[in-house]
Amino acid sequence: MALLDRTIVRFLPAMPRQVVRRIADRYIAGEELEDAVAAVTWLNADGRSATIDVLGEEVERPFEAREIVEAYDRALGAIEEHELDANVSIKPTAFGLKLGYKLCRRNVETLVRAAAERDNFVRIDMEDSSTTDDTLRLYRELRGAGLDNVGIVLQARLRRTLDDIAALADLRPNVRICKGIYVERWRIAHTDFDEIRGSFVRCLEALCETASFVGIATHDEFLVAEGRRIATERYEFQMLLGVRESLGDELVRAGERLRIYVPFGRRWYEYSLRRLQENPRIAGYVAADTVGRMLGRNGSR
């Protein structure tokens, strides 16, 4: 399977954009804010809340980071105007982290304050391990500035995460725990499937002790079951748009809170390609899912 995944990924850039778009379509709300609003309206009607992600990462110039802040500000405005049950998720590199920590901090703080004025919440996604320290520092500084409407993401894949949970405990943080999408070196990350699962469970147990709220972000049935066993209050499940919808249905039917991650924007091509290149396993899922749909099966949803 690993070879097949890598082969799919190698040929993706050679595929016509429309083909990549067809593959990505199900995982992205569309190119415009109104597409995201339509998707979230539908999700809300279906008993799910949402978190909106404006596509774009690793900006190269400060004005691009500024444009992302403005795009998020419009998303917050639309959430308020349409009375949606949604918050936003942001990527530090899209806010200028690779151009300088201070620039990123200024941009993120501007957005978190704008969200606070609208009584909304900003989740800072966790990117690859080169950004972990800065992202944790950013979270701590924002909380230190009195901003409580902000949360962070921790990745069970990283060996450091239990220590990070302990270090954050004084803040009573609002944390999304996920496996982590970026492929990292063995030295700093668990690479074995069961080890990552085990780490997820230990991190979740620790967070239930120390966090003010936990987002359990997974489509792994085993971890969903563990989440339901371990978490008793101040938690929700989180899933990606278009992934394992039948598992999400089960959770909602069982009375669990479920939030769907809804990416939108014109940079869908770069986003899709990078996501797939970063983790060829995802390409395998997507290919299996696409073939399954062509054959009329929906087992992997």
Which residues are known to be catalytic? 125, 176
Nearer Cβ to ligand FAD, position 115 or 204?
A: 204
Nearer Cβ to ligand FAD, position 180 or 265?
A: 180
Contact 281, 5 (CB under 8 A): yes
Nearer Cβ to ligand FAD, position 101 or 182?
A: 182
Work out the number of other CB atoms within 10 angstroms of the CB of residue 132.
19
- Residue 297 phi, psi (nearest 5): -100, 155
What is the helix (H) or strand (E) element at residue 214, kind and residue range? strand 213-217
For residue 182, the minimal CB distance to ligand FAD (Å) is 5
Handedness of CA 45, 51, 54, 56 (dihedral sign): negative
Contact 176, 151 (CB under 8 A): yes
Q: What's the one-letter identity of residue 192?
A: D
For residue 31, the minimal CB distance to ligand FAD (Å) is 19
Compute CA 205 distance to the chain's CA centroid, rounded to the nearest angstrom.
20
For residue 26, the minimal CB distance to ligand FAD (Å) is 9
Q: What's the one-letter identity of residue 117?
A: E
**Greatest CA separation for the chain:** 53
Q: What's the one-letter identity of residue 157?
A: R
Compute CA 64 distance to the chain's CA centroid, rounded to the nearest angstrom.
21
What is the helix (H) or strand (E) element at residue 229, kind and residue range? helix 221-230
Nearer Cβ to ligand FAD, position 117 or 133?
A: 133
Nearer Cβ to ligand FAD, position 108 or 239?
A: 239
What is the distance between the alpha carbons of residues 69 and 54, in angstroms, rounded to a whole number? 10
Residues that bind ligand FAD (CB under 6 A): 125-126, 153, 155, 178-182, 217-220, 223, 238-240, 243-244, 261, 282, 285-286, 289, 300
For residue 218, the minimal CB distance to ligand FAD (Å) is 3
What is the distance between the alpha carbons of residues 54 and 216, in angstroms, rounded to a whole number? 21
